[in-house]
Structure 1
Amino acid sequence: MIFTRGESEDETVVAMLASALRRDISFGALLPDQKLKLNALRQRYGGSNHSMRETLRILTAEGLVESTAQRGFRVTSATEEDLRDICLVRLEVERIGLTRALSQGDTAWEGRVIAAHHALRKAEARVAGAPDDLTALEWDEACRAFSAALMSGCGSPRLIDLQRKFFDQSRRFRLALLREGMLDFAARRDRQGALVQAVLDRDTDTALALLEQEVTGEFKTGA
């Protein structure tokens, strides 16, 4: 028989450190290609050498940090080519997930999508009216929750994990658009509302077309 063990104190610390570094990479506090030295990171975030190394290993697996034998760790690059590749893979994963969710998702899944969309609408109204660090963080988490809700009916934990990974890789590009005032919130509201309606109608073709706009459109047009 296989037994599971509870989360250790060290695992909790690593999870907290990973969340903090993930946030600071997304918000640009840790810059693309910036070297990540253990001592400096420990002074800034806390933790032991072991917990920080494990944190960097997790973020490396997520594609937010890169590791080389000779040069240690650094934040991954954030070029236009990186963005195109991230959007390409994220879209393919989410297309599969949403197609599966539309075919087998139940009313509980629909409820999660509606609830996440409602929270996103409120967060977008706040960040559009008064963009600051707090409202930006709330909005970013609402964007993540809406995207996750759409995937949550697919029935595949591995697809969900992949979607989360590539969504996190795309966050810093979206947050840069927010900081630069390049997001069209009216267009986002209309697009996301139409996407939710397509989900409720189980209109796969329309939902997938709107999903593509949601994943890639804002980076192409600033919408």
Structure 2
Amino acid sequence: MLFGSKQDEDETVVAMLASALRRDISFGLLRPDEKLKLNALRQRYGGSNHSMRETLRLLSAEGLVAATAQRGFRVTSATPQDQQDILFMRVQIEKMALERALRLGDVAWEGRILAAHHAMRHRETLVQEDLSDLAALEWDNACRGFFYSLCDASASPRLLDTQQKYYDQSRRFRLAALREGRLDFAQRAAQHHALLEAALARDTGTALGLLEAVITTELKA
């Protein structure tokens, strides 16, 4: 029991640290290619050397941090080429997952899509009036929920894990576009509604084409 409690405590600390670092990477407070030194990170976020190393390993697995042999850790780069490659991977993974979900999804899945779309639309309305960090993250999480819901009947946990990984890697670019006023919310609403309707109709060709269009639109924002 004692060992289990200590392990649970360590995992909680790592989860909290990872959440804080994800947030600051997403908003650019930890800049692309910035070196991540343990002592500086501990002074800023707390935690022990062990918990911070575990946090950085976790974020490395998620693709937000890069580990370099003998050089420690750094924030991954965020060039236009990085954005293009991340969105390319999102298209491939999410189209694969959506195609399976359209074949395997039941009525409960359709309900989850409708609920996630409603939540996203609500957050899109709010974020246009409130660009605080909290509102921006809640908006992006609602968008994440919608795209996850489209894929979650794919019956492949590994495919879903990969989908979430690349969605999260694209967050920095999306939040930058939001803050700089480069998002066309009317266009987004129309695209998302059309995608929802195609998914509910089990129109595979249309749904996959719309999904790709929605994701690649982020490159133009």
Is TM > 0.5 for Structure 1 vs Structure 2? Answer: yes
Distance in 2, matches of 1:29 and 1:180, equals 16
Give the superposition deviation at 1:174: 0.5
Distance in 1, matches of 2:42 and 2:182, equals 35
Name the residue aligned to 1:55. 55
Distance in 2, matches of 1:57 and 1:135, equals 28
Give the superposition deviation at 1:218: 2.4
Code of the residue aligned with 2:206 in structure 1: it is: T
Name the residue aligned to 2:207. 207
Distance in 2, matches of 1:151 and 1:47, equals 35
1:34 aligns with 2:60: no
Give the superposition deviation at 1:72: 1.2
1:121 aligns with 2:121: yes
Distance in 2, matches of 1:65 and 1:166, equals 13
Give the superposition deviation at 1:173: 0.5
Is contact 1:174-1:219 (8 Å) kept? no
Name the residue aligned to 1:159. 159
The normalised TM-score by structure 1 is 0.94
Code of the residue aligned with 1:17 in structure 2: it is: L
Name the residue aligned to 1:100. 100
Q: What SS does structure 2 have at the residue aligned with 1:155?
A: coil
Give the superposition deviation at 1:71: 2.0
Code of the residue aligned with 1:209 in structure 2: it is: G
Code of the residue aligned with 1:147 in structure 2: it is: F
Give the superposition deviation at 1:128: 1.2
Name the residue aligned to 1:44. 44
Unmatched 5+ stretches in structure 1? none
Name the residue aligned to 2:70. 70
List per-residue Cα deviations over 1:44-94 (Å, max 9, x = no partner): 111111010001001111111011123211100000111111111111000
Is contact 1:191-1:214 (8 Å) kept? yes
Code of the residue aligned with 1:164 in structure 2: it is: Q
Is contact 1:14-1:54 (8 Å) kept? yes
Code of the residue aligned with 1:193 in structure 2: it is: H
Between stretches 209-218 and 47-56, larger displacement belongs to: 209-218
Is contact 1:109-1:153 (8 Å) kept? yes
Between stretches 67-76 and 203-212, larger displacement belongs to: 67-76
Q: Percent identity?
A: 65
Give the superposition deviation at 1:134: 2.1
Code of the residue aligned with 1:167 in structure 2: it is: Y
Distance in 1, matches of 2:72 and 2:132, equals 33
Distance in 1, matches of 2:106 and 2:19, equals 31
Is contact 1:148-1:160 (8 Å) kept? yes
Q: What SS does structure 1 have at the residue aligned with 2:90?
A: helix
Runs of 4+ in 1 over 2 A off after TM superposition: none
Distance in 1, matches of 2:209 and 2:23, equals 30
RMSD over aligned CA atoms reads 1.3
Is contact 1:101-1:150 (8 Å) kept? yes
Code of the residue aligned with 1:22 in structure 2: it is: R
Distance in 1, matches of 2:81 and 2:199, equals 31
Name the residue aligned to 1:135. 135
Distance in 2, matches of 1:77 and 1:119, equals 31
Q: What SS does structure 2 have at the residue aligned with 1:67?
A: strand
Unmatched 5+ stretches in structure 2? none
User: How many residues were matched structurally?
Assistant: 217
